[in-house]
Amino acid sequence: MTQLRPFTVSALIAGTALAPVMALVLVAAPATPARAQQQPQPQQQAVEWTPRRLDQLDRNVRRLERAVTQRNAAGVPVIIETDPEVVILQGVVSDMQRRLSDIEATVQRMNGDIERLTFANDEAQRDNAAMRRLLTDSNTRITALEGQLEAVAEANAPIVADSPTGDARQDFDRAIRLANAQDVRAQRALEVFVITWPDAAQAREANYRLGDLRAAAGDQTGAVQAYASALSGWPRTSWAPDATIKLASGLDATDRNTQACAAVREFFQRYGEGAPTTLINRARQIRERAECPA
């Protein structure tokens, strides 16, 4: 029986880190395949895989492949024994793979929990936004209601002489702004103005505007009083013709026909010339309704 010289990987790739990993033993074909004895390898330092070393490793592997092919072609069986360190390494890799699978499953569960928490957080944010809108709307309504209550309280307060600004012009402008805005405080503001500034230049117009507010509220008696005060001395203002017709209408509505006829007569005498057609027609209607003498 002829025994051939063992063929080992370390013989081909001496100087590389592959020698401690595995050993190849080639034995003659006729004899019973015998396992090559593993040669103990000394401890080696970690190899720094530079491009030069990688090229050398590639060349040695190719040489090994050619040698194995030649042996197989010659009918010499090749027995490869795995290095124990490789077995250990495979076990470590298998364990790492299991751990990696566990980590992946944990990450998937965490992702599911995060998605559920994100959805719950979005729902909570929408609920909070709706609550903030509701609170804002409630605060706005409460503020508006408080303002209305204050306005009503001010409108129903006793009428006494008082000047909010200390100036007749400014007090008048404030009262007119309230009247134009249809504020419930407008009537009281005008009433306070006419008793606080009876001799002011704006007092006549304030009475005229006060008469309009009273008439709109259904207080014809109060309206007549305000219009009469506004027309004291029969002013030549742009609103005087309208105030005269409204005075006549109020007198007619309160069954004071004689006074209504007198107001219509004053209208034609003082303001009829150049008066708007609408006022002239209203004056004629009042005269007919009150049965005024020709």
Please list, in sequence order, all residues whose beta carbon lies within 8 angstroms of the beta carbon of residue 61, skipping any fewer than 6 positions away.
13
Residue in the block written with tokens 């050993």: 23
Nearest partner of 250 among 230, 276, 275, judged by Cα: 230
Task: Please give the DSSP secondary-structure letter assigned to residue 90.
Answer: H
Question: Can you read off the two tokens belonging to residue 188?
Answer: 């009281």
pLDDT digits (tens, 9 = 90+) for 207-265: 999 999 999 999 999 999 999 999 999 999 999 999 999 999 999 999 999 999 999 99
Question: Which has the minimum average pLDDT: 20-24, 39-43, 241-245, 257-261?
Answer: 20-24
Q: For 158-196, give the DSSP string.
A: ------SSS-HHHHHHHHHHHHHTT-TTHHHHHHHHHHH
Q: What is the pLDDT of residue 34?
A: 43
pLDDT digits (tens, 9 = 90+) for 63-105: 888 888 887 788 776 666 666 776 777 788 888 888 988 998 9
pLDDT digits (tens, 9 = 90+) for 120-141: 889 888 888 888 888 888 888 8
